[in-house]
């Protein structure tokens, strides 16, 4: 039996980074710490899914002795070798062999993978996680869906995960944009994390990824249902994010310019209002920009390096910089599409020729055209346009660029070609049908608007991992 570890928060940042910050210039080297030589570049996956009751499709609660997320977590600890990290005695994260299971505010379960150097090993970790979680949950009448939005449950009916971080975050987001709480409690996405060698390399990757992010959103759009009805969007998750705290979410205009990335992102992050800091194992609310916090402090608190590290996790642009690059622009989906997204982004960003080619697809768009493109995609998906060009056409070119990039990387490193993981995207492009559009077709026909049939279909997809 795994022994519980006691943790006052999900990251316990109070134990490190105590160095004071006296001036913003002291942060100038922060992102360069992430520089890695090419041979050490890895890839990480963060995969969120929505827990629902198998028979009704309604969102599961966190609390309860059975038929709850907490009951599943406790069983994983008792019987499957996971270690629990607890806040006030309640499990709020699990770990096993460097794989993490963390909780989003509405009881979404997120797998954070190990760092991988080939996609077969990542696929194996993902499929093991999907299989174990599904098997344990089935005994509780619970299934897990790879969708971008809870399809049948209203916001107020979803129970909060009891984490202090989320209580403070929700208080802030309620007053910043119209859909902050929907984002927290009802959505699920996929994040792909990648390395860089230096500021120039990070800048090229960040710019390209920001530029193509609406294409990725369209290709993986998968949140067309709300309260059991079509909601008018292919990716309602993306639309929700576009109406969540504009100071910390969405597009970053500077990312599309040629400005040095590390200094530009630093200046951006310094001017975003903070949410909280940690002191003595507890969370304290802070409501000033980080630049002001360094200069003036806040209610007797002064800035520390750990505060900066924590602050960066409260920024949610479509592409985020920490000491690696995060792609954050896609709805959740089944495991095969999660792997397809990793392969797509890795193929583009880990081959310099592919990075340049992908950027050229969108480099001629004006800022106004790019904004219109970004706003059009949530509703129309692959049928949206970018400067008059169909997104479906851009997506096809992007997949071809990624496949060639993966091939060149395999040839240069003597490793297996990960292009096979792009196969699900070939089907989407062949049919011109995103996951959202396909789900709508099935919902209105073979599923006969039956939540149980939808759950059965999506739960099965999540178990059909690659067997290569």
pLDDT in tens, 254-295: 999 989 999 999 999 999 999 999 998 899 999 999 999 999
Decide if pLDDT at 220 tops 70.
yes
Decide if pLDDT at 215 tops 60.
yes
Report which of 2, 13, 184 is spatially closest to residue 105, judged by C-alpha positions: 184
Decide if pLDDT at 173 tops 50.
yes
Report which of 353, 320, 97, 381 is spatially closest to residue 192, judged by C-alpha positions: 320
Q: Are 138 and 194 in contact (CB under 8 A)?
A: no
Q: Comparing 343 with 14, which gets the higher pLDDT?
A: 343
SS3 category, 41:
coil
Residue 12 pLDDT grade (very low, low, confident, very high; cuts 50, 70, 90): very low
Mean pLDDT score, 92-98: 96
SS3 category, 175:
coil
Structure tokens belonging to residue 306? 């750990």
Decide if pLDDT at 2 tops 60.
no
**pLDDT score recorded for residue 175:** 85
One-character DSSP codes across 231-292: -S-SBHHHHHHHTS-TTTEE--GGGGSSS-HHHHHHHHHHTSBP-EEEETTEEEE--SBHHH
Q: Are 275 and 168 in contact (CB under 8 A)?
A: yes
CA distances from 3 to 48, 129, 269 (A): 25, 20, 38
Q: What is the pTM of this model?
A: 0.95
Backbone angles phi, psi at 82, to 5 degrees: -85, 150
Mean pLDDT score, 172-193: 96
User: Where are any strands of DSSP class E within 332-450?
Assistant: 385-386, 389-390
Structural domains in the chain, sorted by start: 5-463 (3.30.590.20)
d(CA 386, CA 319): 19
* Mean pLDDT score across all residues of the chain: 95
Burial of 382 (0-12, 13-18, 19+ CB in 10 A): buried
**pLDDT score recorded for residue 9:** 43
């Amino acid at each position: 039996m795994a022994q519980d570890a006691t943790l006052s928060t999900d990251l316990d940042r109070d134990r490190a980074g105590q160095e004071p910050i006296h001036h913003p210039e002291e942060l100038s080297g922060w992102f360069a710490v992430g520089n890695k030589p090419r041979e050490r570049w890895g890839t990480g996956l963060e995969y969120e899914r929505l827990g629902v009751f198998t028979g009704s499709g309604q969102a599961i609660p966190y609390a309860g002795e059975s038929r709850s997320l907490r009951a599943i977590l406790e069983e994983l600890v008792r019987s499957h070798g996971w270690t629990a990290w607890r806040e006030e005695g309640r499990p709020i994260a699990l770990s096993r062999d460097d794989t993490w299971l963390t909780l989003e505010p509405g009881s979404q379960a997120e797998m954070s993978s190990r760092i991988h150097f080939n996609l077969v090993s990542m696929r194996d970790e993902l499929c093991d996680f999907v299989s174990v979680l599904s098997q344990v949950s089935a005994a509780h009448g619970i299934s897990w869906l790879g969708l971008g939005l809870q399809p049948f449950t209203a916001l107020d009916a979803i129970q909060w995960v009891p984490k202090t971080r989320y209580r403070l975050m929700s208080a802030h987001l309620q007053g910043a944009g119209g859909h902050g709480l929907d984002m927290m409690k009802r959505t699920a996405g996929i994040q792909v994390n990648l390395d860089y060698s230096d500021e120039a390399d990070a800048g090229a990757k960040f710019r390209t990824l920001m530029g193509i992010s609406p294409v990725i959103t369209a290709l993986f759009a998968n949140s067309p249902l709300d309260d059991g009805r079509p909601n008018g969007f292919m990716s309602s998750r993306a639309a929700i994010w576009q109406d969540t705290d504009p100071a910390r979410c969405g597009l970053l205009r500077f990312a599309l310019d040629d400005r040095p990335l590390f200094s530009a992102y630093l200046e951006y992050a310094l001017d975003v209002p903070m949410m909280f800091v940690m002191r003595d194992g507890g969370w304290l609310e802070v409501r000033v920009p980080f630049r002001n916090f360094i200069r003036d402090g806040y209610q007797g608190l002064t800035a520390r390096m750990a505060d900066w590290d924590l602050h960066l996790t409260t920024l949610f642009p479509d592409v985020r910089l920490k000491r690696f690059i995060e792609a954050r622009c896609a709805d959740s989906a089944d495991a095969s599409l999660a792997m397809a997204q990793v392969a797509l982004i890795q193929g583009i960003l880990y081959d310099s020729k592919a990075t340049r080619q992908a950027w050229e697809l969108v480099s001629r768009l004006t800022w106004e055209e790019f904004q219109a493109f970004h706003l059009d995609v949530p509703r129309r998906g692959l049928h949206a346009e970018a400067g008059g060009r169909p997104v479906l056409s851009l997506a096809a070119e992007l997949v071809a660029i990624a496949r060639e990039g993966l091939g060149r990387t395999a040839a240069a490193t003597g490793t297996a070609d990960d292009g096979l993981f792009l196969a699900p995207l070939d089907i989407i492009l062949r049919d011109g049908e995103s996951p959202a559009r396909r789900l709508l077709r099935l919902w209105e026909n073979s599923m006969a608007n039956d939540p149980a049939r939808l759950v059965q279909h999506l739960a099965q997809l999540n178990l059909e991992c690659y067997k290569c």
